[in-house]
């Protein structure tokens, strides 16, 4: 059996890429032109290196899919292809300025024709318009062909679509950079800059692939920069390749809604989470191949797109407690906010599929279960998340297939993730969390949940209650604290959970950096039970440890689910 070549790599210059009568097409539905000034600054710095050193300069890899003897699809590299074509046009405009000023008009006109033939395309003898070596996507090609390629400014720059305006901005940026750098240059110098300095010295790795799947395999193998966005484009191009022109218009509208809702940079993760909410787990690098193997007809494409559109709103809501989906349901708002605070995402496929399958009361119980498991397992236990995703996937598939219909059954499947009370107490009794930065909100959440437990049904909200975090051992202890906390131990204890309590702002100011015997007077005046319960006379490493152990018992009662009692 002959070996199958997935790719054919070679090294070539910019002249090599654009020469020999080749044409390139950006797949119709690939993303729009997006380079901004920071990208152009980087490009111009690359150009200055070439000018200053005269050496070859590597410009990265381009991935092309051959569609004929001299025709290629640009799978990766379209932003560079477009910008370098715009660079060529900017050089031509500077030469045209010389013609407009009656400087070597015939010689410069011939230079423009030769440069166009080499970098941009031929002139049609009938229309006298210039054809193109490069054809962009459906949103950008009209402006590129009718305006930029003809060196015609837009009728009204302010009304241009964003990506067209970015192309025009790139043209003006490069035009002005060339004009400034080559002051008083003649046409020969400008032509040599493009054809020899840029054309010969900009070097690329050109990779030709057989199809989109080969391109994906290449990205997977090389861990290519920007793979997420490229994979999104590959998937879209593949799905649309299965459709008729009429269906493509409908599919395009659905795709645009999904991409706008989710965001292109988050789309690959969303797609994977959707897929594993109802199918066996698959890693991100395998996803394109799996979907391609499962989606092979017009009907399947639309089924997938419609399901993705329906799921996208819930996917966003599950990561945003302020989403309208949760308005009027304080319990769900609270649980979504907790899960977001914990920074856990492995539960998203499970919560997506359960929303369709569980009745409301069971879904509320499920959100509570996921929150408690996440807090015990991820936040306090600091356990590895790999096992969590595998178990959640197994449960998601069973829910999708109606094999699990309530939260009790979910718990039975994932109970290995529920950290036991003994382990939870041990972890909690020694944990350190900083009272600033990312941890600050988490510390407030923990203290207020314990406070609500001590109040036997309190309803204090950690985000809206004005209480402050009081450090019993101050963050910057004065010397009188050395008697109780030797300086060598202070750093290890200041940010222990047992060293925190809640206090009204004025009482916190009243406490200052005083010793505990003074602070206790203020604690006794507080409305917060967690402070009133500090009854020891001295604050030492031993009493702090004992208090954190007591807090661990309170925490065990706060973060528990009834199913655990039946384990």
Residue 550 has pLDDT above 90, yes or no: yes
Distance separating alpha carbons of residues 453 and 461, to the nearest angstrom: 13
Q: What is the pLDDT of residues 265-311, one digit of tens each?
A: 788 899 999 999 999 999 887 888 888 889 999 999 999 999 999 99
Who has greater pLDDT, 361 or 63? 361
Distance separating alpha carbons of residues 209 and 5, to the nearest angstrom: 8
Residue 225 pLDDT = 44
Residue 289 pLDDT = 83
HSE-up (13 A, CA, CB side) for residue 134: 27
Q: Are strands 134-135 and 23-25 parallel, antiparallel or unpaired?
A: parallel
Residue 375 pLDDT = 97
Q: What is the pLDDT of residues 373-410, one digit of tens each?
A: 999 999 999 887 778 999 999 999 999 999 999 999 99
What are the backbone dihedrals phi and psi of residue 550, each rounded to the nearest 5 degrees, phi first?
-65, -40
Residue 401 pLDDT = 97
Average pLDDT of the segment spanning 525-541: 96
Confidence band for 123, pLDDT divided at 50, 70 and 90: low
Helix residue ranges, H only, 144-244: 162-181, 187-192, 199-201, 212-222, 227-241
Distance separating alpha carbons of residues 185 and 187, to the nearest angstrom: 7
Residue 370 Cα distances to 341, 364, 431, 444, 532, angstroms: 13, 10, 21, 20, 32
Residue 145 has pLDDT above 60, yes or no: yes
Q: Of all helices (H) and strands (E), which one includes residue 13? A: strand 7-13
Distance separating alpha carbons of residues 481 and 540, to the nearest angstrom: 9
Q: What is the pLDDT of residues 308-355, one digit of tens each?
A: 999 999 999 999 999 999 999 999 999 999 999 999 999 999 999 999
Distance separating alpha carbons of residues 268 and 262, to the nearest angstrom: 10
pTM: 0.72
Residue 29's closest CA among 148, 141, 166, 162? 141
Residue 119's closest CA among 160, 84, 161, 78? 84
Confidence band for 252, pLDDT divided at 50, 70 and 90: confident
């Amino acid at each position: 059996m002959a070996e199958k070549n997935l790719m054919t790599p070679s090294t070539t210059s910019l002249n090599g890429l654009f020469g020999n009568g080749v044409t390139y097409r950006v797949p119709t539905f690939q993303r729009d032109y997006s380079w901004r000034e920071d990208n152009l600054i980087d490009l111009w710095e690359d150009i200055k290196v070439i000018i200053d050193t005269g050496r070859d300069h590597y410009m990265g890899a381009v991935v092309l899919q051959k569609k004929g003897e001299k025709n290629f699809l640009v799978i990766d590299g379209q932003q560079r292809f477009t910008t370098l074509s715009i660079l060529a046009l900017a050089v031509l405009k500077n030469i045209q300025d010389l013609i407009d000023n009656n400087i070597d008009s015939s010689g410069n006109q011939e230079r423009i024709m030769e440069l166009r033939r080499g970098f941009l395309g031929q002139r049609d003898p009938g229309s006298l318009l210039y054809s193109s070596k490069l054809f962009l996507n459906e949103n950008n090609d009209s402006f590129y062909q009718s305006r930029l390629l003809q060196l015609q400014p837009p009728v009204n720059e302010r009304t241009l679509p964003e990506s067209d305006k970015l192309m025009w901005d790139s043209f003006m940026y490069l035009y002005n950079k060339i004009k400034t750098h080559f002051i008083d240059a003649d046409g020969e110098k400008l032509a040599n800059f493009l054809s020899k300095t840029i054309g010969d010295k900009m070097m690329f790795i050109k990779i030709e692939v057989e199809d989109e799947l080969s391109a994906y395999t290449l990205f997977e193998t090389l861990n290519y920069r920007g793979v997420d966005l490229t994979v999104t484009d590959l998937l879209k191009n593949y799905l649309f390749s299965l459709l008729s022109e009429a269906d493509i218009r409908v599919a395009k509208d659905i795709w645009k809604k999904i991409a706008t809702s989710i965001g292109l940079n988050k789309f690959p993760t969303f797609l994977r989470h959707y897929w594993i909410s109802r199918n066996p787990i698959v890693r991100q690098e395998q996803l394109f191949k799996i979907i391609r193997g499962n989606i092979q007809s017009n009907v399947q494409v639309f089924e997938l797109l419609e399901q993705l559109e329906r799921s996208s709103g819930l996917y966003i809501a599950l990561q945003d407690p302020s989403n309208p989906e949760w308005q009027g349901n304080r319990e769900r708002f609270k649980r979504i906010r907790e899960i977001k605070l914990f920074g856990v995402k492995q539960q998203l496929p499970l919560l997506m599929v359960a929303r369709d399958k569980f009745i409301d009361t069971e879904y509320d119980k499920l959100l509570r279960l996921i929150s408690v498991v996440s807090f015990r397992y991820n936040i306090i236990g600091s356990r590895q998340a790999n096992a969590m995703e595998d178990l959640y996937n197994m449960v998601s598939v069973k829910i999708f297939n109606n094999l699990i219909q309530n939260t009790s059954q979910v718990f039975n499947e994932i109970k290995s993730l529920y950290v036991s009370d003994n382990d939870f107490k041990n972890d909690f009794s020694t944990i350190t969390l900083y009272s600033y930065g990312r941890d600050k909100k988490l510390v407030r959440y923990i203290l207020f949940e314990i406070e609500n437990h001590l109040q036997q049904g309190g309803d204090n909200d950690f985000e809206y209650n004005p209480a402050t975090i009081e450090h019993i051992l101050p963050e910057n202890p004065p010397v009188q604290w050395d008697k109780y906390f030797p300086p060598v131990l202070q750093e290890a204890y200041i940010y222990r959970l047992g060293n925190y309590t809640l206090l009204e702002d004025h009482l916190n100011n009243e406490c200052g950096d005083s010793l505990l015997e003074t602070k206790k007077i203020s604690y006794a005046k507080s409305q917060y039970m967690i402070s009133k319960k500090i009854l020891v006379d001295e604050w030492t490493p031993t009493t702090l440890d004992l208090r954190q152990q007591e807090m661990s018992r309170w925490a065990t009662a706060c973060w528990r689910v009834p199913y655990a009692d039946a384990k």
